[in-house]
Amino acid sequence: MNRPETKGFRSKETHVVDYYEYFRAMSRYADTLESQLKDEKESVNELSRHCQRLEVQLEEAEDKFKKISYLCDKCENKPTCTCPCFSVIAQEALKGLGKDG
């Protein structure tokens, strides 16, 4: 005979259904967390690639500034240098940094 549920009494079937629903909810939550983790990993990878590109640009700019420094060291007019070569190389170096020359 089936007894109606009363306060303080729960059938075994009700407990099984409750646990089933709980585990389904936890499974959905785990899937959500896994998806978020995947998105975060992709964001980290994207930032890493961006940093690598910036490092390459920085190295190129440093090389260009070394050329400028070499030219200036050879220049006889250091305090008042208006050398067109300096201007061209400086503009190229600034372009490497993403600035207008």
* The CA-based dihedral angle spanning residues 87, 93, 95, 98, taken in that order and rounded to the nearest 10 degrees: -140
Q: Is residue 62 part of a domain?
A: yes
Q: Which residue range is the domain that position 40 belongs to?
A: 12-96
> CB under 8 Å, gap of 24 or more: what pairs does 63-71 form?
64/89, 64/92, 64/93, 64/96, 65/93, 68/93
Q: Is residue 18 part of a domain?
A: yes
Q: Is residue 33 part of a domain?
A: yes
How many structural domains compose the chain?
Answer: 1
Nearest to 85 by CA among 63, 70, 98: 70
In this predicted structure, the answer to whether residue 63 has a pLDDT above a threshold of 50 is yes
Q: How far is CA 67 from the centre of its chain?
A: 32
pLDDT at residue 98 in the model:
60
What digits encode the pLDDT tens for the residues 16-50? 778 888 999 999 999 999 999 999 999 999 999 99
List the structure tokens of 42.
């992709």
User: What is this structure's pTM?
Assistant: 0.49
Q: Is residue 101 part of a domain?
A: no
DSSP reduced 3-state for 12: helix
> Does residue 67 contact residue 89 with C-beta atoms inside 8 Å?
yes
Q: Is the dihedral of CA 37, 43, 46, 52 positive or negative?
A: negative
Q: Is residue 17 part of a domain?
A: yes
